[in-house]
């Protein structure tokens, strides 16, 4: 009787194991895996690839974000040109009326700031953020042991995705060390163009600070002089305005005649002061956030996933070496200089890493 009970127990255990066993195929090496139970996420013991069973569809549709990004890139480029042209037109004829030593010094400073701002913005827009390197996958004879360790399969790109890569749905591409998608550059910020993005923010802050100081200095020169010239005309105009029965119509006439408003250069200076102050503060905060994330060794997407509990806290050592990974091993003074690039990489070709 005891032997019969043992036989029955073994049969029940065998049936239980056969029910719980779950067969799945690894996308990385193609091996047939037998799991103890159904797992939505599992890792292959041979190649190390991670398989994730997704419920959502990977169907592609027309992305309106591309049109939005291109429109914003044109707007930002036009604003940069307006800052440069408006600043030169409004400041230099008043502050430097002759070809003095100060004129050449400030012309050199303005040229350096304008060139570095424009070139780094163009490079951040044009250079791909960093496509993952090509790696063999799909067959066990092509994949070595552990060669796909931590890789996931991208349902959109139909290719392996390294552990440090993310897929940008706006650009429909996987990016190595992706920080975020910036609509103002119409591109992802990743391993290949993050240096140019940081330099663009840095020179934008310097340029807006320079424009702010020079606009205030020029305004102190031009505004008292204009107020003295228009004092008599404005006084009589305001008297008519106070005694007029039609306040709105008189105000419109004064606006059209220019009695209560300063010259075009004075208007431009006022605009430059307000715009440079607001843009400098906004871009400065973004620059601070970027520098802080580089120092900590985490991207913006990593910090979001950690805060939402999607991934555990990354064991990354923060420090100066993280800046060298982005800007290179040269002296930090040379980080701000324009770097030689392969121009064919800046026009849509894939950027591979060694």
Contact assessment for residue 136 and residue 143, using Cβ atoms and an 8 Å cutoff: yes
Q: Does 26 qualify as catalytic in the annotation? A: no
**Residue 185 and residue 286 in contact, taking contact as beta carbons nearer than 8 Å:** no
User: What whole-number distance in Å separates Cα of residue 299 and Cα of residue 322?
Assistant: 11
Which of 2-6, 9-13, 95-99 shows the highest mean pLDDT? 95-99
Q: Point out the catalytic residue in the list 168, 171, 182, 220.
A: 182
Contact 297, 322 (CB under 8 A): yes
More confident residue, 4 or 296: 296
Give 221 or 184, the one with higher predicted confidence: 184
Q: Which residue has the higher pLDDT, 310 or 169?
A: 169
pTM of the predicted model as reported, rounded to 2 decimal places = 0.76
What are the C-alpha distances in Å from 41 to residues 37, 50, 243, 321? 11, 7, 81, 34
131 — pLDDT class (breaks 50, 70, 90): confident
* Distant-in-sequence, close-in-space partners of 106: CB < 8 Å, separation ≥ 6: 92, 95, 96, 214
Region 173-190: what's the mean pLDDT?
Answer: 87
Return mean pLDDT, the chain.
Answer: 75
Give one DSSP letter per residue of 282-296, joined into a string. Answer: HHHHHHHHHHHHHHH
Residue 171 DSSP symbol: T
The pLDDT tens digits for 269-281 are 888 999 999 999 9
When comparing pLDDT for 98 and 304, which is higher? 98
Residue 188 contacts by C-beta under 8 Å, 6 or more apart in sequence? 129, 168, 171, 173, 175, 178, 179, 180, 181, 182
Of the candidates 188, 62, 58, which has an alpha carbon nearest to the alpha carbon of residue 125? 188
């Amino acid at each position: 009787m005891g032997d019969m009970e043992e036989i029955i127990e073994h049969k029940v255990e065998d049936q239980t194991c056969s029910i719980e066993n779950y067969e799945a195929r690894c996308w990385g090496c193609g091996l047939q895996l037998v799991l103890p139970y159904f797992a939505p996420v599992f890792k292959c013991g041979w190649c190390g690839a991670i398989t994730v069973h997704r419920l959502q569809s990977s169907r592609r549709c027309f992305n309106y974000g591309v049109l939005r990004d291109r429109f914003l890139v044109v707007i930002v480029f036009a604003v940069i040109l307006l800052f440069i042209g408006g600043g030169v037109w409004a400041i230099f004829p008043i502050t430097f009326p002759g070809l003095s030593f100060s004129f050449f010094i400030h012309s050199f400073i303005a040229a350096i700031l304008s060139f570095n701002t424009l070139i780094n913005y163009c490079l951040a827009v044009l250079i791909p953020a960093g496509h993952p390197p090509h790696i063999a996958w799909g067959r066990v004879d092509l994949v070595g042991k552990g060669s796909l360790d931590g890789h996931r399969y991208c349902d959109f790109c139909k290719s392996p995705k390294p552990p440090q890569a993310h897929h940008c749905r706006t650009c429909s591409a996987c990016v190595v060390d992706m920080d975020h998608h910036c609509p103002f550059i119409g591109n992802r910020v990743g391993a290949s163009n993050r240096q140019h993005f940081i330099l663009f923010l840095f020179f934008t802050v310097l340029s807006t600070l320079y424009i702010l100081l020079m606009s205030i200095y020029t305004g102190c020169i031009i505004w008292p002089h204009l107020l003295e010239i228009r004092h008599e005309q404005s006084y009589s105009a305001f008297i008519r305005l106070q005694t007029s029965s039609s306040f709105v119509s008189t105000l419109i006439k004064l606006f059209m005649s220019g009695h209560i408003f300063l010259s075009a250069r004075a208007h431009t200076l006022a605009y430059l002061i307000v715009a440079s102050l607001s843009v400098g503060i906004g871009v400065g905060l973004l620059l601070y956030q970027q520098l802080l994330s580089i120092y900590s060794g985490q991207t913006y997407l990593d910090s979001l996933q950690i805060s939402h509990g999607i991934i555990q806290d990354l064991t990354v050592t923060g420090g100066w070496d993280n800046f060298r990974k982005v800007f290179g091993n040269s002296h930090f003074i040379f980080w701000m200089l324009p770097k030689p690039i392969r121009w064919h990489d800046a026009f849509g070709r894939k950027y591979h890493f060694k």
